[in-house]
Amino acid sequence: MGLDLYNNSPIAKKLFEQLELIKPGTMSLCFNGTKEELTQTKNTQPCLYCVDLAAALSLYENGVTPDVLAGFSLGELAALSFAGSMSYEDGFKIVCKRGEYMQDAGDERESSMIAVVKLDNETVENLCKKYNEVYPVNYNYPGQLVVSGLKAEMELFKLDVKEAGGKALPLSVSGAFHSPFMLSAEKRFKEYLKEFEFNLPKIPVYSNCTAVPYTQDVAALLTSQLMNPVLWQKSVENMMNNGVDTFIEVGVGKTLSGFISKISQDVSVYNIEDMESLRRTVEEVKRC
C-alpha cells in the first residue's frame, strides 16, 4: 500500500523517506508487508499513518484543500498532523508508540472485536449490557455497530446477535480497541504525550470522542480516544449539518466511503489510495 504514490508523487516520496528515518523498515512493511504482519497493530498503525498522510498531501499538491477533516481512530492522528497540530514526524512517533501500547494491551487478555450488522444501536447496546466485558465501541453507520469484548463472552454474545436477527462479523485485529481493555495503553500513552507540544488544528478536525471539532487540549482527547467509542456516524452527520457535501477518503481502501454512503445518499464521496484514484478525484472535484 502506498507504493504507487511513492513512485509518482514527489510530496508522498519525501514523506515516506522522512518517516523511514524515524522507524527503518516502515516502507518495506507498507509496500511489501504480509497480511500477518499488517494485522499486528504495532505495524498497522505506522503504515496507515504514512499512507493516509501521503494521500492527503498528494491531494493538496494537486490543488484540493479541505474545509474540515476527520479520521477514524488512528486516522485522526494523520488528520491532526495534516492540520498542523503537530509535525508529520512527531505525529509518526506518536503513532508508533500508540500502536505498540495498544498491541501490548491487546496481548494482556484474550479479547476480540466484531461488527454487528442488521440491528439498531439500541438493540446491540442492550445485548452488550448482558455481559461484564462486552462493549459497543465503533458507531459506524445505521445498522453497523462494532463491539469489543472478552473472547469467552463474545462467543455467547454472537449467539444473542443471531437470535435477535443480526449478524456478527469477526474483525482481524489484535485487541479489543476503544474499550476498557485498553486501560494500560491509555496510561502509557498519556505519559508519553507529555513529551510533545500540540497546537489546535488550523483546519477543523472532528474528534472521534465528541463528534465535534477540537476546541480543547489535543493530548487529552487523543488519550481518551483509546478507551472510548468512535462516534463516526455522528461526526459525519455533524459535518453534513455544517454544510459539508463532499467527502474524500484518503488512504487504503474504501471502507469509510462505504460508511458515509450508508449514512447519507445526498453527498458526494470519493477516495484516494493511488495515482489513478487521485487523478479521477481531482478531476471530479474541480469540475464541481
Task: Spell out the SS3 assignment of 133-194.
Answer: CEEEEEEEECCEEEEEEEHHHHHHHHHHHHHCCCEEEECCCCCCCCCHHHHHHHHHHHHHHH
Structure confidence at residue 272 as a pLDDT band (50, 70, 90): very high
Please say if the pLDDT value at position 279 is more than 80.
yes
Of residues 9, 58, 73, 207, which has the active-site annotation? 73
The pLDDT value recorded for residue 38 is: 87
Of 173, 170, 269, 185, nearest in space to 227 by CA:
185
19 residue type, one letter: L
Please say if the pLDDT value at position 231 is more than 90.
yes
The pLDDT value recorded for residue 13 is: 97
Any catalytic annotation for residue 178? yes
Please say if the pLDDT value at position 131 is more than 90.
yes
Strand partners, 117: 144, 167
Whole-number Å distance between alpha carbons of 173 and 41: 7
Residues 6 or more apart in contact with residue 35 via CB below 8 angstroms: none
Q: Which of 51-55, 68-72, 213-217 has the lowest mean pLDDT?
A: 213-217
Please give the model's pTM, rounded to 2 decimal places: 0.94
Q: Which of 32-36, 99-103, 190-194, 276-280 has the lowest mean pLDDT?
A: 32-36
Any catalytic annotation for residue 179? no
Average pLDDT, the chain: 96
The pLDDT value recorded for residue 161 is: 97
Give the distance from CA 54 to its chain's centroid: 15
Residues 6 or more apart in contact with residue 160 via CB below 8 angstroms: 127, 130
The pLDDT value recorded for residue 216 is: 82
Please say if the pLDDT value at position 288 is more than 90.
no
The pLDDT value recorded for residue 227 is: 96
Of residues 81, 112, 148, 178, which has the active-site annotation? 178
Please say if the pLDDT value at position 219 is more than 80.
yes
For 22-59, write each residue's pLDDT tens digit: 999 999 999 999 888 888 889 999 999 999 999 999 99
Percent of the chain with pLDDT over 90: 93
Whole-number Å distance between alpha carbons of 228 and 135: 10
Percent of the chain with pLDDT over 70: 100
